[in-house]
Protein backbone atom coordinates (compact mmCIF):
# COMPACT_ATOMS: atom_id res chain seq x y z
CA UNK A 1 0.00 0.00 0.00
CA UNK A 2 1.20 3.48 -0.88
CA UNK A 3 1.16 6.31 1.69
CA UNK A 4 0.88 8.89 -1.13
CA UNK A 5 -1.71 11.52 -0.16
CA UNK A 6 -1.49 14.57 -2.44
CA UNK A 7 0.66 16.87 -4.53
CA UNK A 8 2.02 20.22 -3.47
CA UNK A 9 3.36 23.18 -5.46
CA UNK A 10 7.10 23.43 -4.78
CA UNK A 11 6.88 27.23 -4.73
CA UNK A 12 3.55 28.10 -3.09
CA UNK A 13 2.64 24.93 -1.20
CA UNK A 14 -0.80 24.84 -2.86
CA UNK A 15 -2.35 21.36 -2.67
CA UNK A 16 -3.40 19.30 -5.68
CA UNK A 17 -5.58 16.22 -5.81
CA UNK A 18 -3.80 12.93 -6.52
CA UNK A 19 -6.75 11.43 -8.40
CA UNK A 20 -6.02 13.09 -11.74
CA UNK A 21 -2.96 13.75 -13.92
CA UNK A 22 -1.09 17.03 -13.41
CA UNK A 23 1.73 18.89 -15.07
CA UNK A 24 3.02 22.14 -13.51
CA UNK A 25 1.23 23.99 -10.73
CA UNK A 26 -0.84 27.11 -11.38
CA UNK A 27 2.28 29.08 -10.46
CA UNK A 28 4.12 27.29 -13.28
CA UNK A 29 6.34 25.36 -10.87
CA UNK A 30 7.03 21.63 -10.33
CA UNK A 31 4.64 19.65 -8.13
CA UNK A 32 5.98 17.43 -5.36
CA UNK A 33 4.31 14.23 -4.11
CA UNK A 34 3.54 14.15 -0.39
CA UNK A 35 2.98 11.12 1.82
CA UNK A 36 1.39 10.45 5.19
CA UNK A 37 4.73 9.81 6.85
CA UNK A 38 3.25 9.86 10.37
CA UNK A 39 1.10 6.87 9.45
CA UNK A 40 3.95 5.26 7.52
CA UNK A 41 6.44 5.52 10.39
CA UNK A 42 5.01 2.79 12.65
CA UNK A 43 3.86 0.71 9.67
CA UNK A 44 7.14 0.44 7.74
CA UNK A 45 10.21 -1.63 8.56
CA UNK A 46 13.16 -0.29 6.54
CA UNK A 47 15.11 -3.56 6.67
CA UNK A 48 12.11 -5.65 5.61
CA UNK A 49 11.61 -3.35 2.62
CA UNK A 50 15.31 -3.44 1.75
CA UNK A 51 15.24 -7.24 1.82
CA UNK A 52 12.69 -7.32 -1.01
CA UNK A 53 13.59 -7.83 -4.68
CA UNK A 54 12.45 -5.74 -7.61
CA UNK A 55 15.02 -2.93 -7.60
CA UNK A 56 13.46 0.49 -7.12
CA UNK A 57 9.94 -0.96 -7.13
CA UNK A 58 10.64 -2.35 -3.65
CA UNK A 59 9.93 1.11 -2.16
CA UNK A 60 6.25 0.86 -3.10
CA UNK A 61 4.89 2.41 0.12
CA UNK A 62 6.94 5.55 -0.57
CA UNK A 63 6.05 5.71 -4.25
CA UNK A 64 2.80 7.04 -5.74
CA UNK A 65 1.67 3.86 -7.55
CA UNK A 66 -1.21 2.17 -5.73
CA UNK A 67 -2.27 -0.85 -7.79
CA UNK A 68 0.01 -3.78 -8.62
CA UNK A 69 -1.35 -3.90 -12.17
CA UNK A 70 -0.02 -0.41 -12.88
CA UNK A 71 3.58 -1.35 -12.07
CA UNK A 72 5.66 -1.51 -15.27
CA UNK A 73 8.78 -3.62 -14.80
CA UNK A 74 11.72 -4.49 -17.05
CA UNK A 75 14.08 -6.21 -14.64
CA UNK A 76 15.04 -3.34 -12.33
CA UNK A 77 18.03 -3.91 -10.04
CA UNK A 78 19.63 -2.15 -7.09
CA UNK A 79 22.64 -0.55 -8.74
CA UNK A 80 25.99 -1.51 -7.20
CA UNK A 81 28.28 0.73 -5.17
CA UNK A 82 31.73 0.20 -6.63
CA UNK A 83 34.80 1.39 -4.74
CA UNK A 84 37.46 2.99 -6.95
CA UNK A 85 40.46 3.15 -4.59
CA UNK A 86 43.16 3.61 -7.24
CA UNK A 87 41.25 6.43 -8.89
CA UNK A 88 40.81 8.04 -5.47
CA UNK A 89 44.52 7.79 -4.69
CA UNK A 90 45.41 9.29 -8.09
CA UNK A 91 43.00 12.12 -7.34
CA UNK A 92 44.66 12.84 -3.98
CA UNK A 93 41.93 11.39 -1.78
CA UNK A 94 42.60 9.24 1.27
CA UNK A 95 39.06 8.37 2.38
CA UNK A 96 36.64 6.37 0.29
CA UNK A 97 35.50 7.02 -3.26
CA UNK A 98 32.47 5.09 -4.48
CA UNK A 99 30.77 5.01 -7.86
CA UNK A 100 27.05 4.26 -7.89
CA UNK A 101 26.78 2.62 -11.27
CA UNK A 102 23.39 3.48 -12.68
CA UNK A 103 24.28 2.13 -16.10
CA UNK A 104 23.07 -1.29 -14.92
CA UNK A 105 19.41 -0.27 -15.03
CA UNK A 106 17.03 -1.11 -17.89
CA UNK A 107 17.87 1.02 -20.97
CA UNK A 108 21.32 1.70 -19.50
CA UNK A 109 20.72 4.84 -17.47
CA UNK A 110 19.10 6.20 -14.32
CA UNK A 111 16.39 7.71 -16.49
CA UNK A 112 14.70 4.31 -16.04
CA UNK A 113 13.90 5.19 -12.42
CA UNK A 114 11.97 8.32 -13.26
CA UNK A 115 10.29 7.19 -16.44
CA UNK A 116 9.12 3.88 -14.98
CA UNK A 117 7.22 5.85 -12.34
CA UNK A 118 5.90 8.43 -14.81
CA UNK A 119 4.65 5.69 -17.13
CA UNK A 120 3.10 3.66 -14.31
CA UNK A 121 1.19 6.70 -13.05
CA UNK A 122 0.12 7.62 -16.58
CA UNK A 123 -1.15 4.06 -16.96
CA UNK A 124 -3.15 4.40 -13.77
CA UNK A 125 -4.84 7.48 -15.25
CA UNK A 126 -5.60 5.76 -18.56
CA UNK A 127 -3.20 7.96 -20.56
CA UNK A 128 -2.08 6.31 -23.80
CA UNK A 129 0.07 8.92 -25.61
CA UNK A 130 3.15 10.53 -24.09
CA UNK A 131 5.74 12.95 -25.43
CA UNK A 132 9.00 14.53 -24.27
CA UNK A 133 12.16 16.32 -25.34
CA UNK A 134 15.29 14.23 -24.80
CA UNK A 135 19.07 14.29 -25.06
CA UNK A 136 18.83 10.52 -25.56
CA UNK A 137 18.57 8.55 -22.35
CA UNK A 138 15.20 9.87 -21.20
CA UNK A 139 13.68 9.01 -24.56
CA UNK A 140 15.16 5.52 -24.41
CA UNK A 141 13.58 4.94 -21.02
CA UNK A 142 10.24 6.50 -21.93
CA UNK A 143 9.88 4.51 -25.13
CA UNK A 144 10.81 1.24 -23.41
CA UNK A 145 8.45 1.61 -20.45
CA UNK A 146 5.66 3.10 -22.58
CA UNK A 147 5.78 0.21 -25.05
CA UNK A 148 5.87 -2.22 -22.16
CA UNK A 149 2.69 -0.57 -20.82
CA UNK A 150 1.00 -0.60 -24.23
CA UNK A 151 1.26 3.16 -24.77
CA UNK A 152 2.62 5.27 -27.62
CA UNK A 153 5.53 7.67 -27.15
CA UNK A 154 7.03 10.58 -29.08
CA UNK A 155 10.56 11.85 -28.49
CA UNK A 156 12.15 15.05 -29.81
CA UNK A 157 15.92 15.27 -29.69
CA UNK A 158 18.48 17.96 -30.57
CA UNK A 159 19.88 17.32 -34.05
CA UNK A 160 23.34 16.32 -32.78
CA UNK A 161 22.05 13.64 -30.39
CA UNK A 162 24.14 10.49 -31.02
CA UNK A 163 22.56 8.11 -33.50
CA UNK A 164 22.74 5.17 -31.06
CA UNK A 165 20.29 6.88 -28.70
CA UNK A 166 17.77 7.62 -31.44
CA UNK A 167 17.91 4.09 -32.82
CA UNK A 168 17.41 2.70 -29.35
CA UNK A 169 14.24 4.78 -29.01
CA UNK A 170 13.01 3.61 -32.42
CA UNK A 171 13.69 -0.04 -31.56
CA UNK A 172 11.65 0.43 -28.40
CA UNK A 173 8.76 1.45 -30.64
CA UNK A 174 8.96 5.19 -29.93
CA UNK A 175 8.41 7.85 -32.57
CA UNK A 176 11.64 9.84 -32.66
CA UNK A 177 12.55 13.12 -34.36
CA UNK A 178 15.75 15.13 -34.70
CA UNK A 179 15.07 18.83 -34.16
CA UNK A 180 17.22 21.83 -35.09
CA UNK A 181 17.37 23.19 -31.53
CA UNK A 182 18.38 22.59 -27.92
CA UNK A 183 16.48 20.44 -25.48
CA UNK A 184 14.33 23.29 -24.14
CA UNK A 185 13.36 24.14 -27.71
CA UNK A 186 12.39 20.51 -28.24
CA UNK A 187 10.32 20.90 -25.07
CA UNK A 188 8.54 23.87 -26.59
CA UNK A 189 7.56 21.63 -29.53
CA UNK A 190 5.96 19.14 -27.17
CA UNK A 191 3.94 21.93 -25.58
CA UNK A 192 2.93 23.23 -29.02
CA UNK A 193 1.80 19.83 -30.32
CA UNK A 194 0.06 18.69 -27.15
CA UNK A 195 -3.49 19.72 -28.00
CA UNK A 196 -3.40 18.46 -31.57
CA UNK A 197 -1.76 15.14 -30.67
CA UNK A 198 -3.43 14.41 -27.35
CA UNK A 199 -0.05 13.95 -25.64
CA UNK A 200 0.66 13.87 -21.96
CA UNK A 201 3.83 15.92 -21.42
CA UNK A 202 6.46 13.94 -19.49
CA UNK A 203 9.22 16.56 -19.75
CA UNK A 204 11.65 16.79 -16.81
CA UNK A 205 9.81 18.14 -13.72
CA UNK A 206 6.73 19.02 -15.79
CA UNK A 207 5.04 15.95 -14.38
CA UNK A 208 5.45 15.07 -10.69
CA UNK A 209 6.40 11.40 -10.69
CA UNK A 210 9.81 11.25 -12.35
CA UNK A 211 11.19 12.87 -9.18
CA UNK A 212 9.65 10.07 -7.14
CA UNK A 213 11.45 7.50 -9.25
CA UNK A 214 14.76 9.34 -8.97
CA UNK A 215 14.20 9.67 -5.23
CA UNK A 216 14.85 5.94 -4.95
CA UNK A 217 18.55 6.67 -5.61
CA UNK A 218 18.65 8.28 -2.18
CA UNK A 219 16.71 5.50 -0.45
CA UNK A 220 18.88 2.84 -2.05
CA UNK A 221 22.14 4.61 -1.22
CA UNK A 222 21.23 4.95 2.48
CA UNK A 223 20.25 1.28 2.66
CA UNK A 224 23.46 0.18 0.93
CA UNK A 225 25.59 2.18 3.37
CA UNK A 226 23.82 0.64 6.38
CA UNK A 227 21.31 3.48 6.86
CA UNK A 228 23.73 6.35 6.83
CA UNK A 229 24.77 8.82 4.16
CA UNK A 230 28.21 9.67 2.77
CA UNK A 231 30.07 12.95 3.38
CA UNK A 232 29.59 14.14 -0.18
CA UNK A 233 27.53 13.34 -3.27
CA UNK A 234 28.59 14.46 -6.74
CA UNK A 235 25.63 14.56 -9.10
CA UNK A 236 25.74 15.38 -12.82
CA UNK A 237 23.09 18.06 -13.06
CA UNK A 238 20.93 18.70 -16.09
CA UNK A 239 17.31 19.19 -15.06
CA UNK A 240 18.35 18.22 -11.54
CA UNK A 241 15.63 15.63 -11.00
CA UNK A 242 17.94 13.25 -9.20
CA UNK A 243 19.48 15.83 -6.91
CA UNK A 244 16.08 17.22 -5.96
CA UNK A 245 14.69 13.70 -5.60
CA UNK A 246 17.51 12.48 -3.34
CA UNK A 247 17.26 15.58 -1.16
CA UNK A 248 13.53 14.85 -0.79
CA UNK A 249 14.27 11.20 0.01
CA UNK A 250 16.67 12.18 2.82
CA UNK A 251 13.98 14.35 4.36
CA UNK A 252 11.36 11.61 4.12
CA UNK A 253 13.74 9.03 5.62
CA UNK A 254 14.52 11.31 8.55
CA UNK A 255 10.81 11.80 9.22
CA UNK A 256 10.39 8.03 9.14
CA UNK A 257 13.20 7.67 11.67
CA UNK A 258 15.31 5.70 9.16
CA UNK A 259 18.26 8.14 9.26
CA UNK A 260 19.28 11.07 11.46
CA UNK A 261 19.56 14.77 10.61
CA UNK A 262 23.03 14.47 9.03
CA UNK A 263 23.27 15.21 5.31
CA UNK A 264 25.94 14.86 2.67
CA UNK A 265 27.33 17.93 0.94
CA UNK A 266 25.53 17.94 -2.39
CA UNK A 267 27.62 18.95 -5.40
CA UNK A 268 25.74 19.85 -8.57
CA UNK A 269 28.18 19.11 -11.38
CA UNK A 270 27.96 20.80 -14.77
CA UNK A 271 30.23 21.23 -17.79
CA UNK A 272 31.96 24.59 -18.34
CA UNK A 273 30.23 24.78 -21.73
CA UNK A 274 26.78 24.63 -20.12
CA UNK A 275 26.76 25.74 -16.49
CA UNK A 276 23.64 27.79 -15.74
CA UNK A 277 23.28 26.40 -12.21
CA UNK A 278 26.93 27.07 -11.38
CA UNK A 279 26.61 30.64 -12.63
CA UNK A 280 23.52 31.25 -10.50
CA UNK A 281 25.15 29.56 -7.50
CA UNK A 282 28.22 31.75 -7.73
CA UNK A 283 26.14 34.90 -8.19
CA UNK A 284 24.00 34.06 -5.16
CA UNK A 285 20.86 33.95 -7.30
CA UNK A 286 17.77 31.86 -6.59
CA UNK A 287 17.03 31.21 -10.26
CA UNK A 288 19.31 30.47 -13.22
CA UNK A 289 19.31 32.28 -16.53
CA UNK A 290 19.18 30.36 -19.79
CA UNK A 291 22.72 29.42 -20.94
CA UNK A 292 23.53 30.53 -24.48
CA UNK A 293 25.44 28.35 -26.97
CA UNK A 294 25.51 25.32 -24.70
CA UNK A 295 28.33 22.94 -25.61
CA UNK A 296 29.54 19.73 -24.01
CA UNK A 297 30.05 16.12 -25.02
CA UNK A 298 28.25 15.19 -21.80
CA UNK A 299 24.85 15.35 -23.49
CA UNK A 300 22.88 14.41 -20.37
CA UNK A 301 23.91 17.63 -18.68
CA UNK A 302 23.56 19.87 -21.72
CA UNK A 303 20.47 21.54 -20.33
CA UNK A 304 20.55 25.34 -20.83
CA UNK A 305 17.45 26.00 -18.71
CA UNK A 306 16.09 23.98 -15.80
CA UNK A 307 12.60 24.58 -14.46
CA UNK A 308 13.63 23.24 -11.05
CA UNK A 309 16.66 25.57 -10.81
CA UNK A 310 15.55 27.04 -7.46
CA UNK A 311 15.08 23.56 -5.96
CA UNK A 312 18.56 22.46 -7.08
CA UNK A 313 20.17 25.64 -5.73
CA UNK A 314 18.28 25.38 -2.45
CA UNK A 315 19.37 21.78 -1.85
CA UNK A 316 22.99 22.54 -2.74
CA UNK A 317 23.10 25.54 -0.38
CA UNK A 318 21.27 23.86 2.51
CA UNK A 319 23.66 20.92 2.26
CA UNK A 320 26.81 23.04 2.43
CA UNK A 321 27.90 21.70 -0.95
CA UNK A 322 28.46 23.69 -4.13
CA UNK A 323 27.74 23.84 -7.84
CA UNK A 324 30.91 23.07 -9.80
CA UNK A 325 31.77 23.35 -13.49
CA UNK A 326 34.41 21.13 -15.06
CA UNK A 327 36.17 21.39 -18.41
CA UNK A 328 35.80 19.01 -21.36
CA UNK A 329 39.44 17.99 -21.02
CA UNK A 330 38.99 17.24 -17.31
CA UNK A 331 35.93 15.10 -18.15
CA UNK A 332 37.81 13.12 -20.79
CA UNK A 333 40.86 12.71 -18.53
CA UNK A 334 38.67 11.50 -15.65
CA UNK A 335 37.06 8.92 -17.93
CA UNK A 336 40.48 7.59 -18.88
CA UNK A 337 41.70 7.56 -15.26
CA UNK A 338 38.79 5.56 -13.85
CA UNK A 339 38.88 3.03 -16.68
CA UNK A 340 42.61 2.55 -16.50
CA UNK A 341 43.05 2.63 -12.71
CA UNK A 342 39.97 0.74 -11.62
CA UNK A 343 38.55 -0.98 -14.69
CA UNK A 344 35.30 0.94 -14.57
CA UNK A 345 34.07 2.69 -17.71
CA UNK A 346 32.20 5.90 -16.88
CA UNK A 347 29.88 7.81 -19.17
CA UNK A 348 30.98 11.43 -19.80
CA UNK A 349 28.48 12.75 -17.24
CA UNK A 350 29.76 10.25 -14.67
CA UNK A 351 33.32 11.27 -15.54
CA UNK A 352 32.29 14.89 -14.92
CA UNK A 353 31.46 13.94 -11.32
CA UNK A 354 34.95 12.45 -10.90
CA UNK A 355 36.50 15.63 -12.31
CA UNK A 356 34.38 17.61 -9.83
CA UNK A 357 35.54 15.40 -6.95
CA UNK A 358 39.13 16.15 -7.95
CA UNK A 359 38.34 19.86 -8.10
CA UNK A 360 36.58 19.78 -4.70
CA UNK A 361 39.68 18.17 -3.18
CA UNK A 362 42.01 20.72 -4.76
CA UNK A 363 39.82 23.64 -3.70
CA UNK A 364 39.39 22.29 -0.16
CA UNK A 365 35.60 21.95 -0.49
CA UNK A 366 35.77 18.44 0.97
CA UNK A 367 38.33 16.82 3.28
CA UNK A 368 40.97 14.51 1.77
CA UNK A 369 39.61 11.64 3.86
CA UNK A 370 35.97 12.24 2.90
CA UNK A 371 33.68 9.43 1.82
CA UNK A 372 32.30 10.56 -1.52
CA UNK A 373 29.77 9.03 -3.90
CA UNK A 374 29.85 9.72 -7.64
CA UNK A 375 26.78 9.02 -9.76
CA UNK A 376 27.68 7.25 -12.97
CA UNK A 377 24.30 7.96 -14.47
CA UNK A 378 24.53 5.87 -17.61
CA UNK A 379 26.43 3.04 -19.22
CA UNK A 380 29.73 4.21 -20.67
CA UNK A 381 29.02 1.89 -23.59
CA UNK A 382 26.32 4.18 -24.97
CA UNK A 383 28.80 6.96 -25.75
CA UNK A 384 31.50 7.62 -28.31
CA UNK A 385 34.93 6.51 -27.18
CA UNK A 386 38.30 7.82 -28.33
CA UNK A 387 39.68 5.92 -31.31
CA UNK A 388 42.33 3.52 -30.04
CA UNK A 389 42.48 0.44 -32.24
CA UNK A 390 45.82 -0.66 -33.65
CA UNK A 391 46.15 -3.31 -36.34
CA UNK A 392 48.40 -6.30 -36.54
CA UNK A 393 49.35 -8.21 -39.73
CA UNK A 394 49.25 -11.89 -38.82
CA UNK A 395 51.25 -12.77 -41.94
CA UNK A 396 54.16 -10.41 -41.27
CA UNK A 397 57.04 -11.00 -38.86
CA UNK A 398 55.93 -9.66 -35.47
CA UNK A 399 58.28 -7.83 -33.17
CA UNK A 400 56.62 -8.95 -29.91
CA UNK A 401 58.56 -6.49 -27.81
CA UNK A 402 56.82 -3.65 -29.65
CA UNK A 403 53.33 -4.68 -28.39
Ligand X SMILES: *Cc1c(COP(=O)(O)O)cnc(C)c1O
CA distances, 64 to each of 35, 115, 388 (Å): 9, 13, 47
Closer to ligand X at the Cβ: 256 or 345?
A: 345
8-state DSSP, 99: E
Applying the rule CB under 6 A, the residues between 96 and 115 that interact with ligand X are 109, 111
Using rule CB under 6 A, residue 377 touches ligand X: yes
134: CB partners within 8 A, 6+ apart: 140, 142, 155, 156, 157, 161, 165, 169, 183, 186
Which position among 230, 238, 264, 304 is part of the footprint of ligand X (CB under 6 A)?
A: 238
Nearest residue (beta carbon) to ligand X: 300
Nearest Cα to Cα of residue 385 among 348, 343, 334, 340:
348
Identified binder of ligand X from the candidate list 241, 270, 337, 358, rule CB under 6 A? 241
Give the interface segment with ligand X, choosing from 59-67, 170-178, 240-248, 329-337 (CB under 6 A). 240-248
Q: Least distance (Å) from ligand X to the CB of residue 196?
A: 27
The interface region with ligand X, picked from 121-129, 238-246, 335-343, 363-371 by CB under 6 A, is 238-246
- H/E stretch holding 373: strand 371-376
Among 218, 230, 321, 378, binds ligand X (CB under 6 A): 378
What lies within 8 Å, CB to CB, of 345 at 6+ separation is 335, 338, 339, 379, 380, 381
| Positions in 149-208 near ligand X (CB under 6 A) | 204
Return the residue of 98, 130, 249, 301 that touches ligand X, per CB under 6 A.
Answer: 301
Q: Which stretch binds ligand X (CB under 6 A): 195-203, 233-241, 250-258, 318-326?
A: 233-241
Q: How many CB atoms within 10 Å of residue 316?
A: 25
Question: What would the x/- binding string for ligand X be over residues 34 to 73, using CB under 6 A?
Answer: ----------------------------------------
The size of the interface with ligand X (CB under 6 A), counted in residues, is 18
Round to whole Å and give the CA distance between 379 and 387: 18
Q: Give the residue with the Cβ less far from ligand X, 93 or 239.
A: 239
Residue 21 CB, shortest distance to ligand X, in Å, is 21
Q: Is 173 exposed, middle or buried (0-12, 13-18, 19+ CB in 10 A)?
A: middle
Minimum separation from the CB atom of position 402 to ligand X (A): 38
d(CA 84, CA 13): 42
Q: Where are the alpha helices (DSSP H) in 256-319?
A: 276-283, 309-319
Considering the rule CB under 6 A, would residue 270 count as an interface residue with ligand X? no
According to DSSP H, which parts of 174-296 are helical?
A: 183-197, 209-224, 241-255, 276-283
Find the binder of ligand X among 158, 236, 304, 321 (CB under 6 A).
236
Distance between CA 373 and CA 98 in Å, rounded?
5
Binding test (CB under 6 A) with ligand X, winner from 30, 55, 64, 239: 239
Question: Which residues contribute to the site for ligand X (CB under 6 A)?
Answer: 109, 111, 137-138, 204, 236-242, 300-301, 347, 349, 377-378
Amino acid sequence: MSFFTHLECSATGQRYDRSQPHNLSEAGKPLLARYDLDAAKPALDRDAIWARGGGFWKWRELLPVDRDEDVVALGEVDTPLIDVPATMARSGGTGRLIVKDEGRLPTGSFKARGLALAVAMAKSFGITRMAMPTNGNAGAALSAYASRAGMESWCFAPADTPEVNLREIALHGGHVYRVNGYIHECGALVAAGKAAMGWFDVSTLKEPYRIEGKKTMGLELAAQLGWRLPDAIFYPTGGGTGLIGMWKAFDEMERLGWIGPERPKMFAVQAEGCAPIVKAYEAGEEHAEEWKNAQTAAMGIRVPKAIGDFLILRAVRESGGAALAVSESAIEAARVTCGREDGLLLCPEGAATLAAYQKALTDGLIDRDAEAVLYNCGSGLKYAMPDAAKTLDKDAAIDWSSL
